[in-house]
Structure 1
Amino acid sequence: MALNLTPCPPPHPAPHPPARRPPARRPPEDACDSHCHIFGPFERFPLPDDRSFTPSEAPEPALRALHDTLGFSRAVIVQSQGHGVDHGPLLEALAGNPERYRGVALLKSSTPQADILRLDAAGVCGVRFNFLSHLGGTPDLDAAGMVARRVAPLGWHVAIHVAGTDLVRHADFITGLPTPVVIDHMARPDLDEDLDAIRATLFRLLDTGRVWVKLSGADRLSKAGAPYADVVPYARSLLDHAPERMLWGSDWPHVNLHGAMPDDGTLVDWIDAIAPSADLKRRLLVDNPQALFGFPASGNPLRPER
């Protein structure tokens, strides 16, 4: 099937560290990267034949080294179509770093409940549904709803990966889910075309009090390129509307990217453009991830430990 797909380019080899920034602009203690992926090592975790793309190897030690460089001590590792429903790399990462990581799974309606409980015990706290064509297209909504009902008693969230006006099309499905919902990558609008409709829909969803948004993927949305200043007004409007339910993620190692590979240090610098105050940074990087993902209490807890 996908065995002959050209591998995605590897991530930036040497992101610039926070040492270039004054202390006030560095991530606060217990900062969380709320959206990243790992792939491999492939000799132990081979890629499935039915994958929708071929990633370059990006194992957990490389992710940990990146976070140590950038100043992040927590992360949410999102299972990707690159490994499909083989959660081996994710489970190994969670087992080795239970205080540092949480996970988001990919599940089928046929996934045994025992497997879901095993993922939950390991530190998985969410399930993701992809609506993008290169990741399989819109899922069976009835089946997705059934999966959501199965994980709701565990306190999991549902992550929705949707692009552009598909968010508007599926807004009723999102509001009908029995779990908290996270919209990945700001719903990936086209900044020149469907921005107003997407923003209005996100505001309406946020006003339910049950929807969160990841202010991630600035490099995917930007028309101007680094340092992604053209994405700042849109991201800031979301943060201003519901600062208590915004998250930030690097999206490392940036698979299926059509533009230039970003320097992850530049993506961290971009946080200062959307969250210039220490209070906003702490909400975005510490308090909000702690509240949603169940990390141990840090300073001003919003939710007890899972």
Structure 2
Amino acid sequence: MTEPALGRAPAPPSPGCPPPHPAPRRPRLALPPGSCDAHLHVLGPAEVFPYAAQRTFTPVDAPKEQVTALHAHLGLSRAVVVQSSCNGFDHSALLDALAAGQGRTRGVALIGDTTTRTDVEALHRAGVRGFRLNFLPHLRTTPTRSEIDSVLERVDGLGWAAELHVTGDEVAEYASLIRGLPGRVVIDHMARVDLRAGTDGPAVRALRALLETGDVWVKVSGVDRISLQGPPYADSVALAASLVAQAPERVVWGTDYPHVNIGGEAPDDGLLVDLLADIAPDPVLLRRLLVDNPADLFDFPARSVASDR
């Protein structure tokens, strides 16, 4: 565990990193037992888990206890914690959350140049089941093909999913790369497509074509990020629903808590849960999206599905 940064005043949060919604509503939608938040970040507290010196933004702290309380409020009992770029390649906060989760939490790591195969195997034993590649310029420089191949070599044989964070038309630009990656590939936040191009624009068409390959999954999260209309995000919810209908066995969902690098105020996480009634309107679809698919993709122990109530 990283030692506290004693005597240092915490850095103020960056623009675009508002605090989470102060009082998310209790969802009206009852979620199936074992439901999973498949995309969230655990951040800080900075006094215990300092953010990376080379970070491009400073978030508001969102420690594991805060996340646990939110999930109890929303009716979620499993989680996938995605390593944030503000934590760099120090996975201390992630490992702490995985240990506290006792089998109900999985992780997605960031693999750097100095991350060894031994490090990767330790992350796997702790519950990491994926690695993330960030293609957004505000997070880091775009990974080169040689860097991606180096990561693939170090995670080879572990069954980890590759999670890609792209935006706009990049999902079309990187379609060949995505098709060539081994194993399962997960596109975060519906590729953050620009809905100004409509649901038949090149990015959405590329996303749908990738989903048809059978090896590509999509997180139907981030409706608040890509909506042009604001809450209740009818335009992006319609896109999410169409992706669930297209490939119900290869979609997962997450809150994206605590919503870093956004415009405006953080969304109401209770509303995001209630919107699942439109995204997956059939109980079978809802269970696939929240329970069965995350268990498959992130290798949750079978006992967790039965015991999470």
Under a length normalisation based on structure 1, what TM-score does the superposition of the two structures give?
Answer: 0.92
What does residue range 223-302 of structure 1 map to in structure 2 within 5 Å? 223-297=228-302
Aligned to 2:139: 135
CA contact (8 A) 1:214 1:248 kept: yes
Amino acid at match of 1:10: P
1:133 partner SS: coil
CA positional deviation for 1:150: 2.4
Post-superposition Cα deviations, 1:188-244, rounded to whole Å, max 9, x if no partner, equal 011112642122212221222111000000000111111111112211221111000
Equivalent in the alignment of 2:14: 6
Give the letter aligned to residue 257 of structure 1.
I
What letter corresponds to residue 237 of structure 1 in structure 2? S
What secondary structure sits across from 2:21 in the alignment? coil
* Residue 61 (structure 2) aligned to one of 38, 57, 62: 57
Deviates more, 1:227-236 or 1:194-203: 194-203
CA distance in 2, matches of 1:65, 1:299: 19
Amino acid at match of 2:20: P
Q: Is the 8 A contact 1:30 1:298 kept in 2?
A: no
- 5+ residue gaps, structure 1, are 302-306
Deviation, 1:14, is 1.3
Instruction: Please give the alpha-carbon distance, in whole angstroms, between the structure 2 residues aligned to 1:123 and 1:298.
Output: 15
Question: In terms of mean alpha carbon deviation, does 190-199 or 215-224 score higher?
Answer: 190-199
SS of equivalent to 1:192: helix
Alpha-carbon separation, structure 2, partners of 1:123 and 1:299: 13
1:16 aligns with 2:25: yes
Partner of 2:114: 110
Higher relative contact order (CA 8 A, sep 6+): 2
State the secondary structure of the residue aligned to 2:129: strand
* TM-aligned CA distance change 1:133 to 1:202, over 3 Å: same
Q: Is the contact made by 1:148 and 1:179 (CA closer than 8 Å) also made in structure 2?
A: no
Number of residues of Structure 1 aligned to a counterpart in Structure 2: 294
In the TM superposition, what is the alpha-carbon distance from 1:179 to its structure 2 partner? 2.2
Q: Deviation of residue 300 (structure 1)?
A: 8.8
Q: Provide closer, same or farther for how the CA distance between residues 204 and 152 of structure 1 changes in structure 2, counting only shifts above 3 A.
A: farther
| Separation in structure 1 between the aligned mates of residue 84 and residue 251 of structure 2, nearest angstrom | 22
> Take 1:136 and 1:204, find their aligned partners in 2: how far apart are those partners?
27
Matches within 5 A, 1:99-178: 99-178=103-182
Runs of 4 or more consecutive aligned structure 1 residues displaced over 4 Å after TM superposition: 298-301
Matched to 1:35, the amino acid is H
Kept in 2: contact 1:163–1:188 (CA 8 A): yes
Aligned pairs (5 A) from 1:151-230: 151-193=155-197, 195-196=199-200, 197-230=202-235
Q: Structure 1: how far apart are the matches of 2:76 and 2:302?
A: 16
- Cα distance in structure 2, aligned partners of 1:266 and 1:148: 37
Whether the 8 Å CA contact 1:217–1:251 is kept in 2: the answer is yes
Identity among equivalent pairs (%): 52
- 2:68 is the counterpart of 1:77: no
What TM-score comes out, normalization by structure 2 length?
A: 0.91
